Every structure is written in structure tokens, then in C-alpha cells.
Amino acid sequence: MKYLSIIFPLLFSTLFLAQDIITKKSGDELEVKIVKINKSNVMYKKHNDLEGATFIMDKTHIFMIKYEDGKKVVFEDKDGKNKEEETLLRKGLRIGLHATPAIMSDPDLLSGTTNTGTTISGGLDVYYYFTDNIAFKTGVIVNALPDFEHYKKPISGGYTNEVKTSYINFVGVPIKISFATGGKVGFYLETGTTFFFQQFQSESFTYNKTIILQDVVTGVHFSPTKLISIHAGPSFQFNLGRYMIGAQAGISFALPNAK
């Protein structure tokens, strides 16, 4: 009983520490429980009297509301109008699109030469943000990779090595971790592995080709609204001998169940 008399007050005091805070423009702070934010006012209860009366405060007196989960809402007066700005919360599911033009280098071990060319990929992205900063990313990518065919061309006094270039469409699946910092503007990073699969069929044979690339994208992100996020920056894809260097631009949209 002696220990219970100590533990219960501690538990109750911990519960009451979790409250919303209204910071007034005068600098005063009120510990409250927000009930509702209306167009021109805020309804709240005192945090130590949740069963008591509901109070109403005009927004023009409020500088900021900080919720118990850390979310902040800042109010500003401009031209007599009230503007509300919310801290961006990414947690939850998002879908998006991206495009990545790049140059590539691919050594040909049979001919002893190194092939270079251009490629472009694009696809559908699926993000799941575990927190507001860290996400798992996957999706489907279509990549037009150059395919090089070496052959001998007769010339005066011998032969010369010629290269014929065509493009093969690969379908890829990325398995990545994505990081985003800041609110509306911040640093963006994604890294992981992308598996590209392709089947080629001619009159005489069929073969399957798989390319596994390590993938890193860095850059910046910009969120014009809490539902939309745009990122852009350099992209690096590589494995043993092959590499692609380019630039990626993408956009993602929060789904209704995103927090």
C-alpha cells in the first residue's frame, strides 16, 4: 500500500502533463484541451477541468496552438485576415510519380569495350512513412535501357568494330528507405536496391535478363501543401561495372488515411 500511494499520484500527474497549449499574442500560455477550431475562434476546455465549461477565444488573440502530440498551428494576421499554417505531418501512406533521365556506362566483357548511352526511367511510387521523416518506398519502374550489339564491319585492309544501339524496356521494382527533413522545404534522400526484369524473344531463342542496381537519390523536397510533396536532385544507380548518373524529379500525394 505504501508503494501504491506513491505510484498512483505519479501516474495521474503524468496523464495531466499531456495537454494542448495556447500561446496568446500577449505571451501568456494556457494549458487546455482543444475542442474545436472554427473560422474565427477556438473552443477549448481547461486541462484540469475537462468536464467543466467550454471556453471560446477569438483567433485574433492567439499566436500559436501546440497539441500534446507536438503538432503546431500558427496563426498570422495579414490584411485583416487570419491565416493558419500547420506543421507538415507525413506519417502514413502516399503515392507518387517520378522520372529519371540518365547517362550510363556498361562494360562489354566479350568485346573488351565500354558502352555508353542515355536512358530514362519513370514509374509509380508507393511510400509508407513510419514517422514524419522515414518511409519505406516501393512501386513499379519502367526503364528504357540501351542494348549494344557489337559486330565486325569490313574495311580496306581488315575489319573495324562497330556498335549498334537499340533500347530494351525493363520493368523494375525498387526496395528503398526514404528520408525527408524539415517542414515545407528540406533535405531528401532515398537509398536501396532496384531489381530490373526483362525478357527478350527472337525467332531462335528466348532469354531472361535481370539487372540489380544499388540506387541513391539526394536533393531537396518542397511541400506546397500538407497533401503534396515534390522532390528533385541527382540520382546514382550502380552495380559491378555498370553505372547510371542522372537527375530525378518526383511528386507524391498523401492518401486520405495519411496522418
Segments making up each domain of the chain, as ranges = 17-86, 92-254
Same fold, 17-86 and 92-254: no
Bridge partners, residue 152, by sequence: 161
pLDDT score for 10: 46
- Measured at the CA of 140, the angle between CA 138 and CA 143, to 5 degrees, comes to 125
Ramachandran angles phi, psi of 62, nearest 5°: -105, 130
Nearest to 125, CA basis, from 89, 91, 100: 100
pLDDT score for 220: 95
C-alpha pair distances (Å), 139 with each of 47, 126, 128, 226 = 45, 5, 11, 22
pLDDT score for 257: 55
Please state, in angstroms and rounded to a whole number, the distance separating the CA atoms of residues 156 and 174.
49
Of all helices (H) and strands (E), which one includes residue 15?
helix 4-17
pLDDT score for 137: 96
pLDDT score for 89: 64
List average pLDDT for each run of 10 residues in the chain, which is 259 residues long.
47 55 90 89 88 88 85 67 53 91 74 71 92 91 68 57 62 93 86 83 62 92 87 90 89 74
pLDDT score for 192: 95
Architecture in CATH for domain 17-86: Roll (2.30)
Please state, in angstroms and rounded to a whole number, the distance separating the CA atoms of residues 62 and 226.
22
Measured between its terminal Cα atoms, the distance across the chain in Å is 42
pLDDT score for 199: 62
Alpha carbon 233 to its chain's center? 13
pLDDT score for 51: 86
pLDDT score for 97: 96
Nearest to 184, CA basis, from 142, 223, 129, 145: 223
**CB-CB contact of 146 with 169 (8 Å):** no
CATH number of 92-254: 2.40.160.20
pLDDT digits (tens, 9 = 90+) for 48-59: 888 888 899 988
pLDDT score for 3: 45
- pTM > 0.85: yes or no: no
Amino acid at residue number 72: K
Please state, in angstroms and rounded to a whole number, the distance separating the CA atoms of residues 20 and 64.
11
Q: Which grid cell is 69?
A: 502530440
Please state, in angstroms and rounded to a whole number, the distance separating the CA atoms of residues 91 and 87.
12
